[in-house]
Structure 1
Amino acid sequence: MSAQADPSPLDQLPGDLMMWVLIVSELLVFGAGLAAFLGVRITDPAGFAAAQDHLHRALAGINTLVLVSSGWLAARAVRSAEAARPGATRWHLAGAAALGGVFLAIKAVEYAGNAAAGIGMTSGGFFTFYYLLTGFHAAHVIAGIVILGLVGWRAEPRAVEVGAAFWHMVDLVWVLLFPVIYLLR
């Protein structure tokens, strides 16, 4: 009789271990950025509040709904892939990616409005962090769109699950950025 090792908790993670390493490391980077933002905010709460009044909260709120909806479509893609429905999987992934594009378009409108008002990365501590955090997030949205496209190519359940996990990380980061940057006073 041979002894089998008990499965480790890592064996029970959905998707791929290396994607989880990437996700955790990205969450740590964003967490450090948010902690730095909040730390600097303590030194100038009135300046941060005044700068925050120049942001487009309505657009950011719409973007929150857009990304949460895209996350729902990514989750539906995983279910479709598990049910061996590649056509539905691809449509859900395409929808999630398209909503990622909508997010980026809305973010571009927001950035353009700031630029027209003369607000840039050097317009104070608040805007330095604002552009660093939201720009880094936008880069992750672009990477996520590419990943969703790549995993949709073959629509295999494991690959779709891994791509959706990354996309959910992008959603989670925005759900944290939105209140801290746009709403927290």
Structure 2
Amino acid sequence: MFNKILATSVVTVGLMMTVSISAAQANPKAMTWKVFGKPLVVNSKTYVLFGSDNEQPDGTNPYEGDTNINEYRSLLCIKKTNALAPVGLPPSSITPGGATKNSWSGGTVLVIPNIQGKQLTSQAVADNICNQVGQIVRGVSGYRMAEFHDGTGIYAGWSFWAQAYGDINGLARCSRYWVNINDQPATPW
């Protein structure tokens, strides 16, 4: 009798685990950002504001992800240069929760189009893609996947300004960019 109860329990637990794993994997999502406004040109350099939005149904969700990782989006990469914020860049602001948004990133961005989210299997893989393309396109190493908190200021997050070269694929406002978040599970991996 004990063996029959134990076998039934094991089968039941196994089925419950299979169902919960399948449900979690059915719609895996990761966080994406968009471009806000038009690029700003200051002293013949171009700056772009990237950030999270709350447009529905596809707005940014930094907690659970907002875009299925089977979809193709551009990968937003950044190289931190620790450059000072350019004079003429709009000031940052503080959210009601105390985060600094619209701040200067201290870096340059690179966009890699047509990356399927599930190709980004780890932080190291995403950073390596950014670094390799940075070396090929710009002849510079040190690019990595951009991160939710890449701005400056106390509790930086939600958006940042960065220097951009060229048109960055038209900077279409409807385009969304894969962006990492280091303190939430909304990453592609």
TM-score (norm 1): 0.21
TM-score (norm 2): 0.21
Which is helix-richer, 1 or 2?
A: 1
Which is strand-richer, 1 or 2?
A: 2
